[in-house]
Amino acid sequence: MRILSRGARDLTTNRVADVAGVSIGSLYQYFPDKQAIFGALLDRHVQQSTAALERAFAARRTSTLPELLGDLFTVSVQAHSAKPALYQFLASQAAGDLAVSRAHAACLQNGLRAALEREGHAPADAEGIAFVLSRQLDTLTHGVILDLPPTLPRELAEAEALRALTGYLTTCVARAAP
């Protein structure tokens, strides 16, 4: 990420065009300013993450809830691990397309709700549990990738995050049992 090494203020559209190997006119044809570039890159990241979640939901339709949750967490961590410095930079610089971010959150929440309902949870309970689990998963993923303390091994942070997710899920399942 040499291009980002000096920060957003020093990153100009001329520099982006130069690194991309296109003329500045071509760049402006698609992006009016560098914020538009940042937003488009962040949107692409969110769309790729959403597609990865959709594949995980499709592949785990018959899995247990803890297995599904583990896969979703792994997929989420992998999606953010590819280029964490770029993702952190983009998240700090660009609001991105709110509709894309909402679609990502809805994909995660709706998939979890459907899995919970398949396991016998009442729709209202499934909605509440899915809401909390989806927000926990997203927050813990970002914490493990972007805010990990230097003294904490990533593998340990991932294991603790997954334990927190499955702990909440286990509590909800036990609460719903007759």
pLDDT of residue 84: 80
* pLDDT tens digit at each of 178 positions of the chain: 455 555 666 678 888 888 888 998 988 898 888 888 888 888 888 888 889 999 999 998 888 999 999 999 999 999 888 888 777 777 776 555 666 678 888 999 999 999 999 988 999 899 999 999 999 999 999 899 888 999 999 999 999 999 999 999 999 877 765 5
How far apart (Å, rounded) are the C-alpha atoms in residues 124 and 138? 22
Output the 3-class SS for the chain. Answer: CHHHCCCCCCCCHHHHHHHHCCCHHHHHHHCCCHHHHHHHHHHHHHHHHHHHHHHHHHHCCCCCHHHHHHHHHHHHHHHHHCCHHHHHHHHHHCCCCHHHHHHHHHHHHHHHHHHHHHCCCCHHHHHHHHHHHHHHHHHHHHHHHHCCCCCCCHHHHHHHHHHHHHHHHHHHHHHHCC
> What distance, in Å, lies between the first and last C-alpha atoms of the chain?
54
> Which domains does the chain show, CATH number per domain?
1-30 (no CATH), 34-176 (1.10.357.10)
- pLDDT value of position 1: 46
**What residues have CB less than 8 Å from 90, skipping those under 6 apart?**
38, 41, 42, 45, 96
Q: What pLDDT does 83 receive? A: 81
Check residue 5 and give its pLDDT.
55
- Residue 12 confidence (pLDDT): 81
Residue tagged 């937003």 (tokens): 39
**Closest listed residue to residue 81, CA positions, set 4, 145, 131:** 145
